[in-house]
A and B are shown apart, each in its own frame.
Chain A
Amino acid sequence: KQEVTQIPAALSVPEGENLVLNCSFTDSAIYNLQWFRQDPGKGLTSLLLIQSSQREQTSGRLNASLDKSSGRSTLYIAASQPGDSATYLCAVTIGANSKLTFGKGITLSVRP
């Protein structure tokens, strides 16, 4: 049974800091991995999708890496801003139209 872990559950950093959010999964036979952002009381916004054959994806100040063999992914946020404050969720799937298995998320607070 696939389990996704995100530690720590919460993180507080000063504005401008570069930071790394970690995600680990127990079954390396994944199809892809997605990072989502969730603002309080809102839905999920997809940030980055990494296919199992890829090592990393970049979008603006965000960079996600994937090491499938070790069951790990990281989300790197450069030059953090208060607007980055949100909960970041990692999720994996075993097929193109299969369910997502989510981690519990990391709640990030960027202090001005």
Chain B
Amino acid sequence: DTAVSQTPKYLVTQMGNDKSIKCEQNLGHDTMYWYKQDSKKFLKIMFSYNNKELIINETVPNRFSPKSPDKAHLNLHINSLELGDSAVYFCASSGRGLQFFGPGTRLTVT
């Protein structure tokens, strides 16, 4: 019974395309996040939502747009994909200060 799930697990696409990554958590948490892990394996926050409201938006290009239809879901839409967007994207949720991570989506832009 997966706590935080993401789809797809792998995504290969060409430059200029638009793609979405979906995230769902069944932990009843109010806060969800998107993190990016670059080629050097460094993990960095992108967005955070609390009760469907955006509370953190780091310096991320506006080609990236998160959407939270309800507390259990936080999707990430990326427009006009660039080579530099290739990375692993992790969704997470938090409760009582403990963050739980999804398995990650490996995005490759060719």
Contacts and interface: CB of A to CB of B under 8 A. Distances in A.
Interface of A: 31-32, 34, 36, 41-44, 46, 49, 51, 87, 89, 91, 93, 96-102, 104-105
Interface in B55-101: 55-56, 58, 90, 92, 94, 96-101
Contacts of A51: 97
B73 to A, nearest CB: 17
Contact of B45 (A43, A100, A104): A100
A105 B102 CA distance: 18
Given A102-B43, A104-B42, A44 B101 contact: yes
Given A32-B97, A44-B101, A97 B43 contact: no
Contact of A97 (B44, B94, B100, B106): B94
Interface of A is mostly: strand
Given A102-B43, A105-B41, A96 B96 contact: yes
Interface of B is mostly: strand
A42 B88 CA distance: 10
Interface of B: 30-31, 33, 35, 40-45, 48, 50, 55-56, 58, 90, 92, 94, 96-104, 106
A109 to B, nearest CB: 15
B42 A102 contact: yes
B97 A96 contact: yes
Contacts of A42: 103-104
Contacts of B31: 97
Nearest to B102: A43
Contacts of A99: 33, 45, 48, 56, 58
Contact of B99 (A87, A100, A104, A105): A100
Contacts of A43: 90, 101-104
Given A97-B31, A99-B56, A104-B42, A44 B98 contact: no
Given A41-B106, A91-B43, 18 more contacts: A31-B97, A42-B103, A43-B90, A49-B98, A87-B41, A89-B43, A96-B96, A96-B97, A97-B30, A97-B50, A97-B55, A98-B48, A99-B56, A99-B58, A100-B92, A102-B43, A102-B44, A104-B40
